[in-house]
Amino acid sequence: MFTEDAPIFQQLAARIADDILAGVHPEESPVPSATDLAVFHQINPATASKGVNVLVDLGALYKKRGIGVFVATGARELLRTNRRAEFRREYVAPLVREARALDIDRATLRQMIDDEESSQQ
């Protein structure tokens, strides 16, 4: 479910974004309504709408009045661009910080990244 690290609406928005990036919701297809999301995740409907609206404001989702909310064309590219900006802050910065705390030098760190990459292929 949700963690306590960030407000629920942000976590919900991130989760929908994950699903769009993973192709669960293709572009121009509908995403679940805020009500369905609220019931599914057992969260307040207002919180769910707020989460959806984060992505609407971003331009990744758009609302068709009276029909529902759909994934915008180009949403995946948009989200990917956004995520890349976050990537450094969310993943690289802690990685470097932790490496420093553990006295892992730069060369070793690079080697670890290379090894990890080849092992995942």
Partner 1 sequence: MTNAIDMQAVTRRFGESTALDAVDVTVPEGSICGLLGRNGAGKTTMMSIIAGQDRPSSGRVEVLGQEPFENESVLAMLSFVRDNQRYPDDYRLHHVLRIAPDFAPHWSEEVAAELVDGFRIPARTPIKKFSRGQLSSVAIVLGLASRAPVTLLDEPYLGLDVTARALFHDMLLRDYAAHPRTIVLSTHLVQESEALFDRVVILDGGTVRVSSEAEDVRDLAFTLSGATDVVQGLTARSTVLSTHTVAGLMSATVWGALDDESRTTARDLGARVAPASLHELVAAIGEHRPEPADLALHEKKGVRA
Residue of the chain from 24, 46, 93, 113 that contacts partner 1 (CB under 8 A):
46
CB nearer partner 1, residue 48 or residue 71 = 48
Kindly tell me which residue out of 39, 93, 112, 113 binds partner 1, with binding defined by CB under 8 A: 39
Residue 2 sits in the site that holds partner 1 (CB under 8 A): yes
Residue with tokens 């919900």: 12
Sheet holding 61-64, edge to edge: 30-31, 68-71, 61-64
Residues 6+ apart with CB under 8 A from 69: 30, 31, 33, 34, 52, 56, 61, 62, 63
Least CB distance from residue 85 to partner 1, whole Å?
A: 23
Smallest gap, in angstroms, from Cβ of residue 84 to partner 1? Answer: 26
Identified binder of partner 1 from the candidate list 31, 41, 71, 76, rule CB under 8 A: 41
Query: What tokens were used for 82?
Result: 């956004």
DSSP 23: T
Q: How far is the CB of 63 from partner 1 (least distance, A)?
A: 17
CB 3 within 8 A of CB 11: yes
Site string for partner 1, 58-87 (x = CB under 8 A): ------------------------------
Cα 54 to Cα 97: distance, rounded to the nearest angstrom: 30
Chosen residue from 13, 20, 25, 47 binding partner 1 by CB under 8 A: 47
